[in-house]
Structure 1
């Protein structure tokens, strides 16, 4: 992987370790490629943390890849079915790679939470303590999503 892309993966990790959510961490690491500043990227991605507002649905890091893929190849004309389909294919491929490497794209599964844990999940963000970072695989999921998106960009560049 190119140094520039390795640096973006490291930026995603650093973002997470600074307290940003999984989605924010991934999106912000690549947002400038699409003309988006850090603050806008953080705001756009803010609600996806904890598997969408701590509801433990799709992993925030995975949601970050979806946002980035939309910025990269999303259609802008409503009737552009071909463009929409092409973007969906890119996203499905990215998600399949994440699932293959991480066993799931679902936050609750990645955190090994049962249905009762998920049902009692509150909207309050967890405090970022040493214990939090130790017991959660999130930083590895952020790294994985950033690597997968970087690989996508690299492959796209070599196929042009």
Structure 2
């Protein structure tokens, strides 16, 4: 099973969109699933159902930080390179979907912020593109990681 399929399966198990993407890469990050699920738990529904940045996008960003992030606050080149990766991911996702904002992806108006997540029913899965967005985010990330790893082979 590829990362895309794994992320989609995790989403259908009930994990939020950020958790599904992040957990699909837990093995690569050498992180146990419980820790990964907790770390990503706040980012579902566009950050706690605020409908801001899509959780699948946040999941991509968190994986990228864990695998390619910087930890030296006095390393501006590393920071610049890392932010470049984040911007590449956002651009690829936006190119395919028109936005990285949850409420825009779901066609909700600006005031439609939910305070509680919807129950995962058959109707939920029919009306929401979230499973597909989760799969797409995992797929975009996988392709970009292959490129980044190739570029760093000789370094």
TM-score, normalization by structure 2: 0.94
Post-superposition shift, 1:17? 0.5
2:101 corresponds to which residue? Answer: 106
**Gapped runs of 5+ residues in structure 1?**
1-5
Per-residue CA shift, 1:68-121, capped at 9, x if unaligned? 110121111111111111100000000000000011000000000012323xx2
Please report the RMSD computed on the Cα atoms of aligned residues, expressed in angstroms. 1.1
Matched, 1:44 2:36: no
1:70 is aligned to: 65
Runs of 4+ in 1 over 6 A off after TM superposition: none
CA distance in 1, matches of 2:149, 2:70: 19
Tell me whether 147-156 or 87-96 shows the greater mean CA deviation.
147-156
SS in 1 for 2:27: helix
Count of residues paired in the alignment: 152
> Quick check: which one's helix share is greater?
1
* Structure 2 unaligned blocks of 5 or more: none
Counterpart mapping for 1:2-151 below 5 A: 7-118=2-113, 121-122=114-115, 124-151=116-143
Task: Give the Å deviation of 1:14.
Answer: 0.2
